[in-house]
């Protein structure tokens, strides 16, 4: 099953995939950003400074900030072209080569006739990167916009910075429109931390890998061997016949969503396991798990394609 990584060899590493520093518009230098995340218990981060000419198209080199308990993934927030609303595209590229060619993006104003977002996303993926569509709600992204990005691995469904700063931090509708068209996409939760507001330590991924190295983490991200969270932990997911079983840290709700409005759920007090019938979701090509704890914190599985 697609959830077998829970019991495969390796361990879960906690990481943030969307972070900024003084190499672009963040408030802290890269060394201090890494120090704070490690002190908070993170195993890795990706510094994703804005890849525009205003900041000299940075792919911030954090290799010297790695240590035995903490690693980093080279990346950037990529910008080019404009969406239907006239705003600049925002995409995450994690694992970019340091010689990744810059688009015509001198600042945060779209340039007419510049490289398309679909093109830069494909170039990033071809260069070995994990590619994600960033904060679609904040961006005002339309379904037609999102449909053009065929090289993405994931959609950012929780962006803590956008939640804190303007309450536009979710991307589930964008994700599900694409899933319903058969697109095999996963989801990520991130901070988008700049450290100029309380935009940090709010959303993360837990990646199952054999070792805490950039190469192993990127391979696991690309294969979908992870889940996303703002607090609770998912320990296992088992799909057997017409039911799904979920093991987790204590929660009050376990929700199973699929195509359209039908869903199934289990409610209780400090539940650490649940078994839920999938009868109401019969016919949905995909399902996903959400869990919610008493404080309202959530965790989300990647979509599970039930016929795989």
Q: Is 277 exposed, middle or buried (0-12, 13-18, 19+ CB in 10 A)?
A: middle
Mean pLDDT for 195-221 is 98
- Please name each of the domains of the chain with its CATH number: 4-229 (3.20.20.140), 234-305 (2.60.40)
pLDDT of residue 307: 83
Rounded CA gap, 100 and 6, in Å? 34
Q: Is 167 exposed, middle or buried (0-12, 13-18, 19+ CB in 10 A)?
A: exposed
pLDDT of residue 241: 84
Identify the band that residue 14 occupies on the pLDDT scale cut at 50, 70 and 90. very high
Among the listed residues 300, 265, 218, the one whose alpha carbon sits nearest the alpha carbon of residue 3: 300
Residue that the structure tokens 């890998």 belong to: 209
pLDDT of residue 217: 98
Q: Is the pLDDT of residue 244 over 80?
A: yes
Q: What is the pLDDT of residues 245-257, one digit of tens each?
A: 999 999 999 999 9
- Sign for the CA dihedral angle at 232, 272, 252, 287 comes to positive
Rounded CA gap, 165 and 50, in Å? 18
Rounded CA gap, 83 and 146, in Å? 9
State the maximum Cα–Cα separation within the chain, in Å, rounded to a whole number: 56
Q: What is the pLDDT of residues 36-91, one digit of tens each?
A: 999 999 999 999 999 999 999 999 999 999 999 999 999 999 999 999 999 999 99
Q: Is the pLDDT of residue 1 over 60?
A: no
| Residue 118 near residue 150 (C-beta atoms within 8 A) | yes
Among the listed residues 48, 53, 133, 116, the one whose alpha carbon sits nearest the alpha carbon of residue 82: 116
Q: Is the pLDDT of residue 111 over 90?
A: yes
pLDDT of residue 308: 78
Angle at 301 between CA 236 and CA 46, to 5 degrees: 110
278 to 113, 241, 256, 306: CA distances (angstroms): 48, 9, 8, 10
Name, in order, each residue with C-beta under 8 angstroms of 168's C-beta and a sequence gap of 6 or more: 135, 137, 138, 162
Which tokens sit at 266?
Answer: 């289990």
Among the listed residues 206, 152, 197, 159, the one whose alpha carbon sits nearest the alpha carbon of residue 179: 152
Q: Is the pLDDT of residue 265 over 70?
A: yes
Q: What is the pLDDT of residues 140-192, one digit of tens each?
A: 999 999 999 999 999 999 999 999 999 999 999 999 999 999 999 999 999 99
Query: What proportions of the chain, in percent to the nearest 5, are helix, strand and coil?
Result: 20, 35, 45
Cα dihedral: 34, 57, 185, 125 (round 10) = -110
Rounded CA gap, 43 and 16, in Å? 9
Mean pLDDT for 1-5 is 79
Provide the residue count of the chain. 308
pLDDT of residue 234: 98
pLDDT of residue 112: 86
């Amino acid at each position: 099953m697609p959830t077998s990584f829970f019991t495969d060899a390796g361990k879960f590493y906690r990481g943030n995939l969307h972070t900024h520093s003084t190499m672009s518009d963040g408030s802290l230098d890269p060394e201090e950003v890494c120090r704070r995340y490690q002190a908070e218990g993170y195993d890795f981060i990706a510094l994703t400074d804005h890849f525009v000419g205003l900041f000299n198209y940075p792919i911030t080199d954090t290799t010297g900030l790695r240590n035995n308990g903490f690693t980093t993934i080279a990346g950037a927030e990529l910008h080019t072209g404009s969406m239907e609303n006239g705003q600049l595209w925002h995409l995450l590229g994690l694992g970019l080569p340091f010689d990744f060619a810059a688009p015509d993006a001198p600042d945060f104003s779209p340039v007419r006739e510049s490289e398309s977002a679909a093109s830069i996303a494909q170039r990033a993926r071809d260069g070995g990167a994990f590619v994600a569509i960033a904060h679609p709600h904040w961006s005002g992204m339309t379904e037609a916009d999102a449909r053009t990005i065929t090289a993405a691995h994931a959609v950012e469904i929780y962006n803590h910075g956008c939640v804190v700063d303007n309450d536009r931090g979710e991307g589930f509708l964008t994700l599900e429109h694409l899933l319903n068209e058969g697109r095999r996409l996963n989801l990520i939760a991130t901070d988008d931390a700049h450290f100029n507001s309380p935009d940090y330590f709010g959303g993360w991924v837990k990646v199952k890998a054999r070792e805490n190295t950039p190469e192993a983490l990127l391979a696991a991200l690309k294969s979908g061997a992870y889940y996303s969270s703002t607090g609770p932990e998912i320990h296992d997911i088992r799909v057997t016949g017409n039911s799904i079983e979920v093991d987790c840290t204590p929660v009050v709700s376990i929700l199973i969503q699929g195509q359209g409005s039908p869903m199934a759920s289990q409610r209780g007090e400090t539940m650490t396991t649940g078994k839920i019938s999938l009868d109401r979701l019969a016919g949905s090509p995909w399902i996903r798990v959400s869990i919610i704890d008493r404080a309202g914190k959530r965790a989300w599985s990647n979509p599970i394609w039930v016929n795989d």
